Amino acid sequence: GQARKLQAILESAVDAIITIDGRGTITTVNPAAARLFDYPQDAFIGQNVHFLMPEPYHSAHDGYIANYRRTGAAKIIGIGREVTGRRRDGSLFPMHLAVSEFEMDGRVHFTGIIHDLSAQKATEQALRQAQ
Ligand code: HEM
């Protein structure tokens, strides 16, 4: 059925896929997200998504979501942005973030798709240094 198909897509995706509720609390996470941030999958659930980012984003992120919900002015939804993620060991890495909004049971939720840019950035730097 559709539920099993969706499950298979999430399980096999290369990019990290995280959903949050309207307050930023993580509701689902795929295996690629667990690998990327180096936490077990069940360690994400119920946490505020801001635990995956460094300052100043960490302190500001609840406000970003609240601003968007109040004003409707999207800074990332439908646009995308390169930002910095934070792994379990505290190390930082560049990532592309795409965010979309959906409604379920009359409540707003958001999906974040995260593409790790660290290998690409390292290659670019090596190429620059070789010149
Ligand atoms: C907005 C950073 C992950 C959902 C933003 C903004 C930044 C940001 C900089 C825009 C602030 C502004 O200019 O007003 C980050 C960082 C992340 C991260 C560094 C690293 C892990 C996520 C994830 C989701 C998410 C995984 C969803 C599952 C949102 C939402 C908004 C937002 C809903 C407000 C809507 C918008 O501005 O378009 N975030 N974010 N973020 N983020 Fe995140």
The pLDDT tens digits of the residues spanning 38-72 come to 999 999 999 999 999 999 999 999 999 999 999 99
Instruction: Please tell me whether residue 46 adopts helix, strand or coil conformation.
Output: coil
Q: Whose CA is nearest to atom 43 of ligand 1?
A: 61
Taking the centre of ligand 1 as the mean of its atom positions, its distance from the CA of residue 92, in whole angstroms, is 16
> Tens digit of pLDDT for each residue in 102-120?
999 999 999 999 999 999 9
CA distances from 85 to 4, 63, 72, 104 (A): 30, 18, 25, 27
ipTM of model over 0.95: yes
Is the CB of residue 39 less than 8 Å from the CB of residue 30? Answer: no
Question: Which residues have C-beta atoms less than 6 Å from ligand 1?
Answer: 18-20, 49, 52-53, 57, 61, 64-65, 67-68, 74-77, 83-85, 97, 99, 110-112
Q: Distances from the Cα of 129 to the Cαs of 92, 122, 125, in angstroms?
A: 22, 11, 6
Q: How many degrees, rounded to 5, is the angle at CA 53 between CA 32 and CA 30?
A: 20
